[in-house]
Chain A
């Protein structure tokens, strides 16, 4: 019963929110293509697609958390931590695969702690993740002693800087990883029991309790997944820049949550998809890129980002009202 209800709601949602964002995206792309001669160039599109990877991948994780009715404010700090741990591991001479595992593990552990405190100890996610963000930043500054870690191996930097050539197209590696992870998150949400439970948890927690599903475990899994996906974003950003700075990704939680909301994930829980997040992040990144290309003062970027969050919230509210009526 629950399953059928959720399926129906997801189907309706796909027909509305993703299409709305897709249309907005097309409008912005057409406008920028006509009003600048620099937007629709291979170089610029590559830059945009490369840069949006480390917002989109953590946004996949954040969307899972928001779908179950939670929130994770530690994503910026986790991005910095995973990048730093990977860089430190490389500095200690660990092979690249092991260093990547270390970075992933660091993010997953923070996610697991968040999930345990929210799921088992039943603390509010807002406070828990704010607390872990503060702890993680403290650990980062302690480990780095204020200095960025540089001179990372070239092979590692390829992960963030190299392109894969498919015919005439040069696809940035981070974009490729984003697409692979988008498919993975889509499969988890749409084709697995875990995905059904995730939607059910956000939609009607009481109904799920009746079915006997272990909620604490489920929440722990979701927050751990969010930590792991966020770690991927942090590692890719570090590889792109070739530096792991203790201040990296400060305030990125706002951009990540914005991408999730614009992409149609409901703050009320129970709704959202990988495709929506992908479109939301692309819309946000292209708009920010467009501001620079159009020569608008950069001082207004923050206001633009805030306005986009409001746009996402209004769309969400409108959707909720329509569903209710």
Chain B
């Protein structure tokens, strides 16, 4: 029985340890003999379960290193988040970073309402908070930096029309039904197609943010509508699967002139674009989620700079004309160089 209790205690310890995965802030030792001021910025994604946030984290760390090397203040990034995207878990993470005494918080809100109270608690504790990617507009955050998803949806529609022409059947792929940013992307896309009455949106299929379900949804739709002329992927879920996973989609893309526009610009998508499977990508600048957020918080904390209600981060349009430059940015982990026109 003692053995059982010990087992249970170990089990509980591991369970608790697995709930939150704190990031590893880069440590920069202060030069000997000098005392430099240090600020810690908590950079909190919706969840640790999406690789695009890893890209943003990399940008945050790059900016922190840049600022530390150039200025009088050492900047440390604390990457913290819950494993799954969950509003209540994220509230706990915000409270934890406040308790830790960080100097600023940059957060992508899992739920706009669930974020209000913890953000306001941080504000009342004297910690400035900004939101990025996903906002909590009714909270006391001082600015929101992100993408205008409706505008990006319009751009997606224009890109698809340019690629496939002004008539034919198109389908939409989305993630978890009801997610604000995805619904806005779809709304923008449909608004963008409103001027083209001969284009028919014949299906909107969901992936629940799952690669396998994404692959199945695309293939089932291709099976049901073999004459489909265009796809609009509001995210990149099925594109993570290797070549050969979506034979119908791949065949239509390579041999039957079907066009696909997708969000994000991860290396796997860039390779698909370069090889003719995709016609264009809408890069929502994931790396700058971290890079610009750290700069904004630094300027706000150190230089008392103020920011407007919304900072439009914009998006890059990636086509065959600038895909190589984007691939090079990935190779060098430097996304600051301007891309050639699409």
Contact = CB atoms under 8 A, between A and B. Distances in A.
Contacts of B48: 141, 146
Chain B binding surface, main DSSP class: helix
A157 B242 contact: yes
Interface in A268-320: 289, 292-295, 297-299, 301
B219 interface: yes
A293 B224 contact: yes
Contacts, number: 131
Contacts of B202: 295
Given A146-B53, A248-B210, A135 B18 contact: yes
Contacts of A137: 18, 83-84
Given A134-B18, A292-B217, A241 B223 contact: no
Contact of A41 (B15, B177, B209, B223): B223
Interface stretch (A63-71, A147-155, A187-195, A199-207): A147-155
A120 B4 contact: yes
Contact of B240 (A117, A150, A301): A150
B309 interface: no
A39 to B, nearest CB: 8
Contacts of A249: 210, 212
15 contacts: A38-B226, A43-B248, A47-B216, A51-B212, A137-B83, A138-B19, A139-B18, A141-B21, A141-B48, A146-B49, A148-B211, A157-B244, A237-B212, A292-B221, A292-B223
B166 interface: no
Given A131-B15, A146-B51, A299-B177, A250 B242 contact: no
Nearest to A51: B216
Nearest to B248: A43
Contacts of A298: 177, 203-206, 217
Max chain B CB contacts within 10 Å: which of A117, A146, A250?
A146
Contacts of A131: 11, 15
3 pairs of A and B residues whose beta carbons are closest in the complex: A242-B242, A138-B18, A292-B220
A245 interface: yes
Interface string B304-332: 00000000000000000000000000000
B42 interface: no
B245 A242 contact: yes
A142 B21 contact: yes
A150 to B, nearest CB: 6
A152 B240 CA distance: 12
Contacts of B209: 247, 250
A325 B50 CA distance: 53
B243 A242 contact: yes
B224 A292 contact: yes
Contacts of A248: 210-212
B238 to A, nearest CB: 9
Counting contact residues on chain B (CB < 8 A from A), the size range is 35 or more
B196 interface: no
A44 interface: yes
A114 to B, nearest CB: 11
A249 B177 CA distance: 18
Contacts of A107: none
A131 to B, nearest CB: 5
Interface in B193-252: 202-206, 208-212, 215-217, 219-221, 223-224, 226, 240-245, 248
Contacts of A241: 211-212, 215, 240-242, 245
Interface of A: 36, 38, 41, 43-44, 47, 51, 54, 117, 120-123, 131, 134-135, 137-139, 141-142, 145-148, 150-152, 157, 161, 237, 240-243, 245-251, 289, 292-295, 297-299, 301
Contacts of B17: 138
B240 A243 contact: yes
B241 to A, nearest CB: 4
A204 B17 CA distance: 38
B70 interface: no
B14 interface: yes
Interface string B40-57: 000000001111011000
B268 interface: yes
Contact of A134 (B15, B50, B212, B248): B15
Nearest to B205: A298
A137 B145 CA distance: 31
Nearest to B267: A150
Interface string B53-68: 1100000000000000
Interface string B8-45: 10010011011101000000000000000000000000
Contact of A242 (B7, B14, B19, B244): B244
Contacts of B84: 137
A248 B18 CA distance: 18
A255 to B, nearest CB: 10
B208 A293 contact: no
A292 B242 contact: no
Given A251-B208, A295-B203, 4 more contacts: A47-B216, A242-B245, A250-B49, A298-B217
B242 A38 contact: no
A135 B15 contact: yes
Given A142-B21, A157-B244, A295-B202, A243 B211 contact: yes
A148 B50 CA distance: 9
A106 to B, nearest CB: 16
A44 B223 contact: yes
Contacts of A138: 17-19, 21, 83
A242 B221 CA distance: 21
Nearest to A148: B240
A47 B219 contact: yes
